[in-house]
Amino acid sequence: MLLGLSAGLELLYATLAETRAHSMTAAAITFTAPIRILRLPEVCKTTGLGRAMIYRLQAARRFPKSVKITEHAVGWIETEVQAWLAERIATRQEV
């Protein structure tokens, strides 16, 4: 039996509510988006930081850790870089 869009959404919301009621973590139901890896030039462009500062902040654990892509290449997970930027913005707004 095919459900209409409205009925399908109601079923989804009911399932989510039931999941929460059973004290399951949010990770139990995942909606996946593609993971995007940013290379250093794109991280520099996105953050406005230079190469040395990115590595310095990463070493101080104040910037997302890079991911080894191949033997000689690293990148950063885009959502982690975006979250770091959002934290910077939130800090600015608190002052």
Q: What are phi and psi of 64, to 5 degrees?
A: -55, 145
pLDDT at 23: 46
Based on the fold, state whether residues 67 and 26 are members of the same structural domain: no
Measured distance CA(1)–CA(43) in Å, rounded = 48
Fill in the amino acid letter for 7: A
Is residue 2 domain-shared with residue 17, that is, in the same domain? yes
- Global pTM reads 0.64
pLDDT in tens, the chain (95 residues): 444 445 555 655 555 555 454 444 555 556 688 999 999 999 999 999 999 999 999 999 999 999 999 999 999 999 999 999 999 999 987 76
Look at residue 70 in the predicted model and tell me its pLDDT.
97
Q: Domain range for residue 85? A: 37-94
41 shares a domain with 22: no
SS3 (DSSP) at 9 = helix
